Amino acid sequence: MPLPSLGRLGSRTNLKAVPAGRHRNAAKPVGDEVVEDKELTSYLAALAPDADPESTGTGKRFGEAQVYQVRMNLIASQQLKELAAERDISPQALAMEWILERLSWEGQASSAQSRRESDALTDEYSFPAGSFDGPLLPR
């Protein structure tokens, strides 16, 4: 049995065709002008940030940020989810917080190590505090 055609007049029905809707390219009737809702426009402008700090405006949402995939075993993944739930944040946010924290620690340790190495290369010698305060011993 053939299916009925939904957009045409059928021979068995007495229905009228549905008039065509408004098309994009159709001319607007006179008197049908668009009125700008200034209240809505100002409300939306107040909600929108002036400048999105995470956007470069070039389509790159986070500037030069890079995405890394981390594959974890089931136990570590479950532990991460539980800890994140305790702190009321997402597991991704907790993992990123930990990574950034660790990178900060590594940077501090690296700079401290560099200072120790540069101090070892100098001819300086540090005397203990107060070592020259007492009287000189006769020979």
Helix-helix angle 91-120:74-87, to 10 degrees? 100
- Cβ neighbours of residue 83 closer than 8 Å, sequence gap 6 or more: 94
Mean residue pLDDT of the chain comes to: 76
pLDDT tier at 6 (50, 70, 90 boundaries)?
A: low
Domain boundaries of the chain, sorted by first residue: 91-119
CA angle 95, 96, 102 (to 5 degrees): 90
Residue 31 dihedral angles phi and psi, to the nearest 5°: 90, -5
Considering the chain, what percentage of its residues have pLDDT values greater than 90?
25
- pLDDT of 16 strictly over 80: no
pLDDT digits (tens, 9 = 90+) for 32-49: 667 788 888 888 888 876
Q: Tokens standing for 5?
A: 């055609």
